[in-house]
Structures are given as C-alpha cells and as structure tokens.
Amino acid sequence: MAAAPPSYCFVALPPCSKDGLVVFGKNSARPRDEVQEVVYFAAAEHEPGSKVECTYIEIEQVPRTHAVVLSRPSWLWGAEMGANEHGVCVANEAVVTREPASESEALLGMDLVRLGLERGATAKEALDVIVALLEEHGQGGNYYEDGSSCHTFQSAFLIVDRNEAWILETSGKYWAAEKITEGVKCICNQLSLTTKIDAEHPELRNYVKSQGWWNGDSDFNFSEVFSLADDHLACCSGRESLEKQGGDVSAQAMIDVLRDKDSGVCVDSESFLTTASIVSVLPQDPSFPCIHYFTGTPDPSRSIFKPFIFVDDVKLVPKVQSPSFGNDDPAKKIPRFQEKPDRRHELYKAHEWARSLLENDQDKGQKLMRIMLDLEKQGLEAMEDILSRTEILDPAEVVDLFYDCVDTELKFFK
C-alpha cells in the first residue's frame, strides 16, 4: 500500500492567534513534477437538473455555487486547498486506513474540497455537504496523474471559517468530525481524531463492531479503530512552533512554519515536494475582508505568498493557470494518463529558472530571493493595514491585487 504524501494543514484560533484572527495554512505535498495552478471561479446560478463533471464522475449540480479560489493539481477538477467568498477554507489530506481505498472512480477527496467550498457558506455547512456527497457517491480513483499505477487514499479535511474549525476524517463513506473553537490544531497524512467526536456517520459504531474492530466496551477512539498498527501517533511537527508564538500567530508566523524544512513541514524528498502552499487570515469581525495568500509555485522556502481578496469582478490571472487541453486531455480519455502533457504555467516556468539560478549562482540567487521576500513583506504589511482600518475597503482597491502581485513577481524573474 502506497504511503500517503506528507502534507500538513494548520489552524490557529484565538487565544493563540494575533488580533483575534483565525489563521489557516497548508503545504500541499504531491509528486515532485506535478504542477499546481491557482484558479478563481465566480459565483454562479445553475439550471434545474444540470450536472457538474468532477474529476472522474458527473454529479447533480446545485442551484447556486459560491465564488471560490483554489490551488489545485492542474490535471483535475477539484482542489488541494482553497477558500470561498464567505470566508470558508478547506484543505484535504490523503490518509491510509485499515480499509483499502477504492480504485473504482468516484469522487476524489480533492473534488470534495471544491464541492464543500462551492456549496457551504460556513465550515459546518461545508462539512455537511462533503459527508452527504460521500454517502451518495463514495470516494475513489487515482490520486495521481499516473497511467502505470493506481494510487488510492481515504481523505481527511480541515474545514475553517471565521468562528470555528472542523477536522473531518473518513474511511470509505464512514466518517467522524471534531469541532475546534480555540487554540492550534494540525492535521497531516495520518488519522488524528481520538475520543472527542462531535459528529459522526450514524452507522459508524455499528459498522466497526460488525468488522470486529471495536467491541463496544472500551472508549471509541477513531484513530485506533481505523489506523493501521501504530500509524495514528502524533505527526504534527510545526504545531509546537505555532504554540510557542503564545497568542501571536499571524500570517507571517504561519508562513515561517510552512517554510521549515528541518521540521519536515516543508517537504522536499525523492518522491514528494511541497508543490504549492496557502495561508488564509480570517477576521472574526465580518466587516473586514478575509485575505488568502497563495504561492502558485513549489517549495515555499523559495516561493512568495501573494494576497487575494474576494470582490466582484476580480481580475483573472492567466499567468498562474495551466494550459487547457479540453477533451483531448489524457486525464479525460479512457484509459487515462497514457501521456503527460506539459502543464507548466508562466509563473511556474519563471520559478524553475529562478530555482536553477539559486542552485548554480548562489550570490545572484540569494540576491533575487532577498528582493522577492522584501516584495512579500510589503504585501503582508499592506494587508495588515487593510485589517487595521476603520473605513470599509473599497473593492476597486483590490480587484487587481493578486494579478498585480503575480505580474510583479514575473517582472523580477525576468
């Protein structure tokens, strides 16, 4: 059974976070050569009876979908992580449980990330959407763009809004969830829920009893019941770093944790790389905007986090979107993945050039990195200013925000 990629997701809620903000972050560890793109989809109305084509299967569409911004492997429909216009953030983790994941094509955990964001206006609504779709359609299919082997996993999710977070862990259609209202939480590629369960599949306990995994006499511990051997041990390097901040976890503190290679949070191994990262800052006061920072490029220690704010008519950013191959995409043809097209977007290619500069000319590379980090710092300070103002944000001020940041980054690379 394949090991799940070692991604990390974090949330810090008051009293651990700065200025009463909720701070969310994720590093997406995926196959080294996989490209992630950052894409925006506006809110939309849909005709009754219409369908939506997910990565592998088609399902019923809902009458209205929320605006979403997503960081996703560019060959699939769903997302590794993202946010919606209502300040909901969702991230997915591939996990291995004692129940083998299905190779039959169904919804991927990454499809469920996008569906939860498109259909849920709060963290709890997004959770309800995800578990209802799991019940109806199941999860399964290849997690990677790989024609030679099918890599299947179960799913865990961190679902966050301005007020609370939920950890949702699944095995097949069965699931359990824990509500978090304070402090720091981390999830990774292992199950983490134990005996504190605030919501669960109605048949969960009967099912595990019928499998002989739990006798019903001892406390029900989700990780112990569903994990392989001792796979459910604490896995959250990085959590300590955030907890050490006291009540001061900020966007910058979350970025620093995501960049940390020594702790293993920033993955750079033979098989896997952190192919994209996100940090979101969610003010509990709804009169302030949520701010979402995306890298759109691999390895956050060599990438910069660029801010995005939801406003009407936000400017699209083709330079972080991969080329589209339509129905000719090898991911859509059966048998799938018989070839791998070049999915690199413009920012990804520029970032590759910068990486080779860092490796081959350290002085020039370090100088470029200092310039880029200074650019990032200016962006963080400008966003802090927006969150400390008393007047309401003028949408015209930020409609080009992410576009301009990507454009400036590209100019420095050139």
H/E stretch holding 384:
helix 362-388
Partners of residue 176 on adjacent β-strands: 169, 200
Q: Which residues contact 404 (CB under 8 A, 6 or more apart)?
A: none
Tokens representing residue 106 in the block: 């169904």
What whole-number distance in Å separates Cα of residue 91 and Cα of residue 295? 15
φ, ψ for residue 349 (rounded to 5)?
-65, -40
Tokens representing residue 306 in the block: 């660029």
State how far Cα 134 lies from the chain centre: 18
State how far Cα 319 lies from the chain centre: 20
Whether 56 contacts 105, CB under 8 Å:
yes
Torsion over CA of 199, 204, 206 and 211, rounded to 10 degrees?
-150
| Total Cβ atoms within 10 A of residue 247 | 12
What whole-number distance in Å separates Cα of residue 82 and Cα of residue 80? 7
Q: Which residues contact 320 (CB under 8 A, 6 or more apart)?
A: 37, 38, 294, 296, 345, 346, 347, 348, 406
Active site residue 9: yes
Q: What is the DSSP string of 217-241?
A: SS---HHHHHSSTTTTS---TTHHH
- Residues carrying an active site annotation: 9
